[in-house]
Every structure is written in C-alpha cells, then in structure tokens.
Amino acid sequence: MMNRRRAILGGLGLAGVAGLGAWGLGQWGLHREIVSVLHRRLSFLKLDDEGVRAFAKDQTAAAFNKKIPSVARLRYHFLSTGAPSSKRFYRSSDQRSRVARLEDTLISNYLLSSDFFSNGADESRTIKYVAYYDPMRGCQNPFARPAVDPRATA
C-alpha cells in the first residue's frame, strides 16, 4: 500500500517537475523567438538590444499571464472546432499566414511600446523600449489627435 502511494506521489512529483520544466522551456523558447523575429523583421531599423530583450520578457510574461479560460469558454472553443464550415461566418481573405499575422501583431506591439512613434517614426534613430504597450493605461494610441486641435485655438 505504502509503496503504491509512494509510486503515485513520486509520479506526480515527476510530472510536476516535468510540467515546470515544460513551462520554463516554453517561456525561454518564446522569449528567444520574439527577440529573433524583431531583429529579423526590423533589420532595417536600429534596435536597442537591451530594450528588445526587456520587451521580449514582458511580452512573454503577458502571454503566460493570460487567465485560464472558464469551462464555458473551453466548451465554446471545443464546439467551434467541430462546427460545420457552413455555420462559421469568420472567413478571412487575408493572404498572410497565421504566423506572419502573429509576427505583424508582435512587431506592432513592440513599436507601440517604444519611443519610435513619439519620435515621429524617425527610422535613423536607435529605437528605445519604453514600457509594454497597454491600452488600459489610457491614451496610448500614438496616432490619435484630439478633437480640438490646439493649434487651431492658439
């Protein structure tokens, strides 16, 4: 009886260690991939290496911090997978691959998190990471202009 319990606990312990290992490996892999994508796709810009790594760390944390979906949401996703195509309205003509779109979103996130747009999108300057882009902080859209143009009333 005791041996069996030990075996089960041992198995659970090993699974836990393996899970933690996979978790860590996943984070490390994602971090590395983000750094690689940014350097590859933005090779024509000067990137601050330390800032890129800091962004990759924050982006990885954001990806891993996503809340665990509720049972209802999981059920929804499960059903959605098997839904007949005639009942799925979300069809896209986007020619980019899913990976390319993910990369585009990642790069957008990086640039919006940097001083790039606040410096007038000057491509000759070294881009510095400022803080992870979070629209929840309010008024982070670098392109938006106020309804009342201050120059018009000056």
Partner 1 sequence: MPSHYDVIIVGTGFASSFFLMRYLERVPQSSRILVLERGNEDTKAWQLANQKHTSIDPEDLVYNDNPGKEWYTSPGFGGNSKCWMGGTTRMMPGDFKLKSRYGVGMDWPISYDDLEAHYGVVEQVMLVSGPADSPMPRSRPVPLMPHRFSDPDALLKKHFPDGWYQMSTARASVATGKRGICCASGICALCPVDAKFTIQNGLAEIYRDPRVTLRLRAEAQTVETAAGVARAVNYLHEKKQSRDTADLIVLGASALFNPHILLRSGFTHPLIGRRLHEQMSVYVTVDLKGVKCYNGSTVLSGLGYLFYEGDHRADRAACMIETWSSPFAYKLDGALRMERGRWNERMIMGFLFDDIPSEANRVTVSSSNPSVANVHFEDFSEYAKKAADRIPQMIDKLAEALPIERLVSTSAGTTAAHIQGTVVMGDDPATSVVDRYLVHHEYRNLLVLGASSYPTASPAYPTLTVSALSLWAADHLLGGTST
Q: How far is the CB of 33 from partner 1 (least distance, A)?
A: 17
CB of 91 to partner 1, least distance (A): 6
- CA angle in degrees (0–180, nearest 5) for 109-124-50: 50
CB of 45 within 8 A of CB of 123?
yes
- The amino acid present at 15, given as its one-letter code, is A
Measured from the CB atom, the residue of 17 and 36 that comes closer to partner 1 is 36
Q: How far is CA 106 from the centre of its chain?
A: 6
Give the nearer residue to partner 1 in terms of CB position, either 25 or 140.
140
| In the block, residue with structure tokens 């991939």 | 33
Q: Minimum CB separation from partner 1 for residue 12, in Å?
A: 30
**Six token digits for residue 34:** 């983000």
**Which residues form the interface with partner 1 (CB under 8 A)?**
41, 44, 70, 72-73, 75-77, 79-80, 83, 86-96, 101-102, 104-105, 107-108, 111-112, 117, 121, 123, 133, 135-141, 143-149
Of 5 and 82, which has the nearer Cβ to partner 1? 82
CA-to-CA distance for 34 and 54, rounded, in angstroms?
Answer: 11
Residue 58 beta carbon to partner 1: minimum distance, rounded to whole angstroms: 16
Beta carbon nearer to partner 1, 60 or 113: 113
Sign of torsion, CA 80 86 90 94? positive
Is the Cβ of residue 126 or residue 140 nearer to partner 1 in the bound state? Answer: 140
Other CB atoms within 10 Å distance of the CB of residue 125: 13
- Smallest distance, Å, CB 49 to partner 1? 21
The span from the CA of 57 to the CA of 36, in Å, is: 13
